[in-house]
Structure 1
Amino acid sequence: MDHRSWNRRPVWTAGCVVAFGWAAAFPLVSTLETHRVWGTCAAAGYLLAAVVMLGPDRERTRAVAVCAALAGAVAVPLAYLLVNGAAQSEVAVIERAGRLLTQHATPYLEHPGSVEEVTPYLPGMALLGLPRAVLGADHPVVRVLGDARLWCAAVLFGCLWAGRRALASGRGGAPANGARRAYFTALGALTASPVVALPLVVSGVDLPLTGLLCLSLALAARGRPVAGGLALAGACALKWTAWPAVPVVMALLVHRAGPRAAVRSALVALAGTAAALLPGLLLSPRPMAEQVLAFPTGRGEFTTPAGSPMPGRLLADLGPAGWYAAVGLLLAGGLAVAVSLVLRPPRELVGAADRLALGLSLAFLLAPAGRFGYLALPVVLVVWSRLVRRDTADPGRRRSRVAAGAAPVRGAAGTALPSRPVPAGGPR
């Protein structure tokens, strides 16, 4: 979609209205107190943003509307829930995993007594619970600083910052102020959207995974195999749902830096993931397998609360045959994406992000157990890759080259790179 078509006031106003309707439904239909708090605050923020968008159709108007939406959808409800110590159960799971990691070197209980004591994440997620384990919760300020949601959000935005910086490093100049403002306004709108704001406020569990996958794709697009492999290892050590990103990143690296660089990146990712998983595999192999693999797929001792009515879950509810059918479709979808990587590998950041988003969407839709919130990850991949591509492009240089009769040369991130000037007498 052309930037000018979606950057107009009617589109922004419609987005605010849709977000308002989405948020306003939560206090009416949700049974979770955290969701009701978020919906009440976010609806007010989105409504105020819609009113602001009735003003002049300028960049400043959009920036003010984004600030209003961020205040209502993120700042106010997050502060309220942090002060009151209210969160979804995922936050307590991460913080307990961090405490167990410091005490037993493994985040998994040997014999969990209820679903709340199950840790369905890989050991890397426990690192985000370490601040709570170290700081404790004796003082209100310390309790807030140790909250896992803050550290999950810090990883997300830190990775997005690093990814943008990596992509901009090959541009050959600082971005124009207007482009920088437009990027941060759009990023603020993405953060304030219900897709990101709700999980950020109430749980935050998928945010670090999202950030690390964006960073690994950005580093691969810049042809940096070791750094990309390390980011990929960080993602793969959090949740096994990150593992489909490995072939996508490798396919992009083959095109950007060659097969040897892709192999080197894969080895780094494999070694980093193995190092993170090794303590759990050695100290608690059975609890780790049951809680990380069996529980999320609906085959564990306890029933997973991830029960949104998606196709895979509906099939699994039909019985063993339905469960195997869902798994078969899931494997078939993964195979189709893998074949597409061989036949038509991605050549730049947006193509790789789209391919990974497609694979993850199929996985989330066809998995025997899942929830709609998982789809936030593919949405961020698709949107952020386009935002950062536009921000790190060099339209002035591209226009000058086109005016001179030369086609722009593409760089590692799909950006225009300088080439040798054509002599006055023509090419020699």
Structure 2
Amino acid sequence: MLADLLHASHLMPVEALPAQASACAAAAGFHQVLIYLADLQRTKLCLLAESEEAARRHEAELPIEGTVAGRVYQYGGLMPASPAGTGEFEWWVPLLDGTERLGLLRVSARHNDPGVRSDMEALASLVALIIVSKRVTSDALAMLVRARPMSLAAEMQWNLLPPRTYADGRVAISAALEPAYDISGDVFDYAVDGPSVHLAIFDAMGHDTAAGLSGALALGACRNARRQGLDLIGEGEAVESALLEQYDHQRYVTGILARLDTRTGILRWVNRGHHPPIVIRDNRWVTHLACTPGHPMGTDLGLPSTVCHEHLQPRDRIVLYTDGITEARRRGGREFGVARFTDFLIRHHADGLPVPETLRRLVHAVLEYHEGRLQDDATVLMSEWIGPALEPAREAADLTGLASDGPGEAERGHGYDQVHGHERPGA
């Protein structure tokens, strides 16, 4: 089954995937495979159909809130898609590329046993990898997950951003940003380099295409400097130099540049005119990390940059954010605020939600608080230091909703599948 689908995928457009997956899955006793992908804002699941006729035979969209399919998307694991006693066995199976929640498979099978459900998970893993391999060249996929037109700045940003979620045994990282179709100046970044985890968040002046260009320039300059081996101060100076060369003091970008040593838990960061990082400890204590800020990048004010240090404890969460998160307000009302923001993260973590799901709900709460329309980009990047060891990675799996309650998990044991590691942004 898997070998046939993998072989067919090399010369197959993504529109042919549903039919090809069903045809290959028949060898394992699966008589129907439906593919649903989450939309950009993660409010609904959209059917990837091979034809209009096929789309009419099934539900084209399923809401994430209040449905069995949505629950599987939010929490992970396998769940039945049809009532017991119907004589037909149907399951919702998460589609995961690493720790990215792409969507779900709905699989119909002739039998119901641990081996069948394990085969479903293997099929879902391969389908997810094929979708990701086709995503960068498929406008069909891009349009499927969009509910409305996207601004030019947002089109650029979504194609520059790293995966929205990454996890291994040492660290779990997740990010969220709104307004999804109109983001412009906010960007986030992270990368893993051996034991080091690089984190960055930028907020460019304005909320237009020029802000998007400034944010993109800052992101590119930061990555370029980092990959040449520059330190945190050097990264900030590289961003400033690029902005000055391009805009000559007319545009600026604030930001946090940070590095976490996963061997020791030492966090180093530089603040360039931005809100300070927050550390949440034991899911109770909130600390705002003080560090003398340098000037915003692109202003050339001559203020020195300072590298500050914090010794983290295992399970500490570092939170970087932009002012659109905390300054969102209702008409005539108070700001969403830092206290409400951190309380939201603490309460939903205590409820046992996966980190990506907590952030999905956070940005929806911010949107609702602002009556559905943000006046500024709202971005949050959260990284939890688990400890120095890559294995076992059970905690990382739990944090990102990768752990399955299905029989496939029992058969695999509690080890972490090393293929599963990252979540790419939708666009």
- TM-score normalised per structure 2: 0.30
- TM-score normalised per structure 1: 0.30
RCO higher in 1 or 2 (8 Å CA, sep ≥ 6)?
Answer: 2
